[in-house]
Chain A
Amino acid sequence: MKSVVAMLLAGGRGSRLNILAMLRAKPAVTFGGIYRIIDFTLSNIVNSNIFIAGILTQYKPFSLMKHVGTGVPWDFIGRNRSVKILPPATGMYDYDWYQGTADAIHQNISFIERYDPAYTLVLSGDHIYHMNYNTMIDFHKEKNADVTVAMMKVPLKLATQFGIGIINSDGRLTDWEEKPENPRSDFASMGIYVFNTEYLKNALNQKSGNDFGKDIIPGALKRDRIYAFPFKGYWQDVGTLQSFWDTNMEILDTHSNLRLNDWNVRTNVEEEEMIGDRSPSYISGKAVISNSLISPHCIIEGTVVNSILSPGIRICEGAIVRDSIIMHDCVIEKNSQLDYVIMDKECIAQRSSVIGWGDNLKPNEENPSHLSSGLSVVGKKSIIPAKIRVGRNCIIHPLIETDAYKSEVIECGSTVKNPS
């Protein structure tokens, strides 16, 4: 018997990450130069000495499947170790897509049963955090709980985005509000659950709902022993473009509690199927680099300030990159400028183009709630034509070619799309 099996919910669309999550599931979005968001949870699992994990996918799973591969980067290989992708499968009906978090686990209960664990750890692949799950499991045992939910204090104004718990002096959950308009507490669920496996199986069989946060947990509070584990370490939901940018930038802040150096996060660097390994970066005599994270295989001749560079990026002479996140294999050509931009993989900013131009902070017209601070986002494999000026709060969709641009200036708040 394995005492713990981890089930990682990685199917979320992450729609507030907008075009970053258009071609891939949110857990597969690049973070911190070389990682994908799911690496943080996968690394927490193995760093907690848990070596059986199921990854439940649904939305655009290809990047994730390729990334997880055989699981070898996280040491999931061995006689008593396994990481399995668990996609939805047709069953009795055609509409057997996962209907919610609890439904996804329910449909894969046979994976858990195969290992017969005393405890089932249900996790989300969406968050940047460092946690030893054993501390939480010990708490769960000590409280003799049926379910334990990891919770932490968040700023009250953000509490509306989370499941909010009310606890008694013993730490037992007495009430629960799912994404409340007027939260009664700032104690928010991190989407991390420890279940007694027997309890989990019973609860799922009763079909009391499809979602843990919306249905199962609130419905069981009066009857069962549901506890809140108070987590005090670093945890960040990177579900919005703004929090995604902010959290990336925390890596550069030596006072931040996001400490990649101490966390032993592992990733799969071989999924890219390159012929050679990513060689070290070359910084030329003309480059200026300040307060930035530089991945391997870059060639830097220009200026890079307060930015996060993924592998394989070329910053040509005279180019200036400031306050930006640039993902794999982008080319920033001569005299181009990026100011406060997230640029997805394999984009080209042609000569003398500018992204993040002007000081008009008009929010993005199509998604005003996604982009209003001035941040602009460029989708995967897009081209910014030479001399084009792209304003602030702009979205350039993935796979945009030069002919999609109708003018020299893309006004602040605009979105550039391919004609559908």
Chain B
Amino acid sequence: MTKVLAMILAGGRVDELGSLTLYRPKSAVPFGGMFRIIDFPMSNLMHSGIEKVGILLQYRSSSIITQIGNGSSWDMIGRNRGAFVLPPYKAAGTKTWYMGTADAIYQNLEFIDDFDPELVLVLSGDHIYKMDYTRLIEYHLSKQADLTAAFTKVPMNSAHRFGLAEIDDTDGELGGQVLDYQEKPDRPSSQWASLTIYLFNKSSLLEILQPLGKENRTIEIGKDIIPRMLQKHKVYGYKFNDYWGYARTIDELWRCNMDTLGLNPKINLKKWELRTNLDHRKIRDRIPTLVTSSAHIENAIVPQGCTIEGEVRNSVLFPGVRIEKNASVENSIVMFDSCIGSGSILHNVIIDTDVNIGNDVRIGFDEKMKVTKANPRCTVIGQYSTIPNGTTIGRECRIGYRVDAQKLGKNDIKSGAIIE
């Protein structure tokens, strides 16, 4: 069997996600009622039988280190198995922080050498999808490619956000040779967007990366490696047609969460057979959820450890959430151990972990602002914030980390307000 080593880039934060990625990288953002985004690539690797992975950290890595633990959550523990977190390091004459995705790989070439794989699978830790990587590997081997990257078709109007490839039609639905590649072009000419899933022959990767890495500048896989590969190497595009969640903005993250709802949801948490670290936030030891006689639940994800006395509609709850009597949560995401006080009404809100919403609070209301599923205009309440009784907060507000009554200043926060 071909030796494959996976490298997950899990260190990035995303400006657009605001306080959600203030104390954690995007890959550690809670998702889908108990998971973290990195559980998706980790579970995909497990299901694909790839049992060795390096996880490259950079931004605020403690939550991702906790999440990976010893790797046993994904069975990546054993003599020939392992999940290794790779923090940036200092060494004589090096540049400490990673300067781009390609540099992150470059600085960990020693790690790759130790395992001496034939193929290096580079993944991003912050996308939501289910993929069998063995098919990508089979395709790569059958084409004797140097690099095979995965692409998905996106609408033309959002294509400029992605690396775009022109793929020939040799293998139809499966994929084809990459004829041209452009990183986030202003005027897109293709709809095939890179999923930032790259399978390299190790030797071809080294050939390009080693001279580049020495240049002491920012180097990216999309911008610098792929164009160079296209010159002399065989680069293939593998077409992926299933669900792929980019979740790079607040509203996208909200929509991806909403895609877990329903009897046949786009993201089928049950069928996808995801694993997470059940020790993180003590998910494992929480008692089943208590639903009282005053509760009303409709179209919701409900994990263990919650107490629900109020109303929950079209929402995703996480372990330890408490919805008190006469509270009403609609089209919202409430993360670990947050409490919604009695009489409070929340529409289109993302509540980070450990938030305390007082009684009779209203969040996400503004008659002048229309909301739709495509444009939910979510308000975000940051980790550990406390919203005092009776406060009103409009739409598209950004209430940051550890905001309290004093920082809030007043009890009527207008739509669009940003309070750090």
Top 5 closest pairs, chain A to chain B, by CB: A276-B273, A280-B33, A280-B303, A279-B269, A33-B288
Which A residue's beta carbon lies closest to that of B75? A275
List A276-321 residues whose CB lies under 8 Å from chain B. Answer: 276-277, 279-285, 287, 289-297, 299, 301, 308-309
Q: Inside 8 A of B270's CB, which chain A residues have their CB?
A: 276, 279, 282, 297, 299
List B252-298 residues whose CB lies under 8 Å from chain A. Answer: 261-263, 265, 269-270, 272-276, 278, 284-285, 287-293, 295, 297-298
Q: Which of B291, B297, B317 has the most CB of A within 10 A?
A: B291
A4 CB-CB contact with B under 8 Å: no
What are 22 A-B interface contacts by the 8 Å CB criterion? A32-B288, A34-B288, A265-B287, A266-B285, A275-B273, A276-B270, A276-B275, A277-B276, A279-B269, A280-B317, A281-B303, A282-B301, A283-B297, A283-B299, A283-B312, A284-B299, A290-B293, A292-B290, A294-B289, A297-B270, A301-B263, A309-B288
Could you tell me the distance in whole angstroms from the C-beta of A61 to the nearest C-beta in chain B? 24
Complex CA gap A297/B289 in Å reads 12
Complex CA gap A270/B317 in Å reads 23
Q: Inside 8 A of B285's CB, which chain A residues have their CB?
A: 264-267
CB contact between B33 and one of A34, A261, A276, A279 (< 8 Å): that residue: A279
A118 CB-CB contact with B under 8 Å: no
A218 CB-CB contact with B under 8 Å: no
A293 touching B293 by the CB < 8 A rule?
no
Q: Which of B32, B287, B299 has the most CB of A within 10 A?
A: B287
B297 touching A282 by the CB < 8 A rule?
no
A: contact size bracket:
35 or more
Which A residue's beta carbon lies closest to that of B33? A280
B295 touching A290 by the CB < 8 A rule?
yes
B288 touching A285 by the CB < 8 A rule?
no
Which B residue's beta carbon lies closest to that of A252? B290
Could you tell me the distance in whole angstroms from the C-beta of B36 to the nearest C-beta in chain A? 12
Contacts from B to A (Cβ < 8 Å): 32-34, 43, 47, 73, 261-263, 265, 269-270, 272-276, 278, 284-285, 287-293, 295, 297-304, 312, 317
Q: Inside 8 A of B276's CB, which chain A residues have their CB?
A: 277
CB contact between A261 and one of B274, B287, B299, B304 (< 8 Å): that residue: B287
A279-B34, A279-B270 known; A293-B302 Cβ under 8 A: no
Which A residue's beta carbon lies closest to that of B34? A280
Q: Which of B270, B275, B292, B295 has the most CB of A within 10 A?
A: B270
Could you tell me the distance in whole angstroms from the C-beta of B195 to the nearest C-beta in chain A? 22
Which A residue's beta carbon lies closest to that of B303? A280
Could you tell me the distance in whole angstroms from the C-beta of B34 to the nearest C-beta in chain A? 5
B301 touching A280 by the CB < 8 A rule?
yes
A284-B263, A289-B291 known; A296-B303 Cβ under 8 A: yes
Complex CA gap A290/B270 in Å reads 24
Complex CA gap A264/B305 in Å reads 12
Which A residue's beta carbon lies closest to that of B273? A276
Could you tell me the distance in whole angstroms from the C-beta of A343 to the nearest C-beta in chain B? 16
B290 touching A73 by the CB < 8 A rule?
no
Could you tell me the distance in whole angstroms from the C-beta of B35 to the nearest C-beta in chain A? 8
Q: Inside 8 A of A269's CB, which chain B residues have their CB?
A: 278, 284
Q: Inside 8 A of A252's CB, which chain B residues have their CB?
A: 290
Complex CA gap A301/B293 in Å reads 17
Q: Inside 8 A of A285's CB, which chain B residues have their CB?
A: 298-299
B288 touching A294 by the CB < 8 A rule?
yes
Which A residue's beta carbon lies closest to that of B35? A279
A260 CB-CB contact with B under 8 Å: yes
Complex CA gap A173/B47 in Å reads 61
Could you tell me the distance in whole angstroms from the C-beta of B409 to the nearest C-beta in chain A? 36
Q: Which of B33, B285, B312 has the most CB of A within 10 A?
A: B285
A296 touching B263 by the CB < 8 A rule?
no
Known contacts A34-B304, A291-B292, A308-B288; 8 further A-B pairs (Cβ under 8 A): A266-B284, A277-B73, A280-B33, A280-B34, A280-B304, A282-B261, A284-B263, A295-B289
Could you tell me the distance in whole angstroms from the C-beta of B246 to the nearest C-beta in chain A? 22
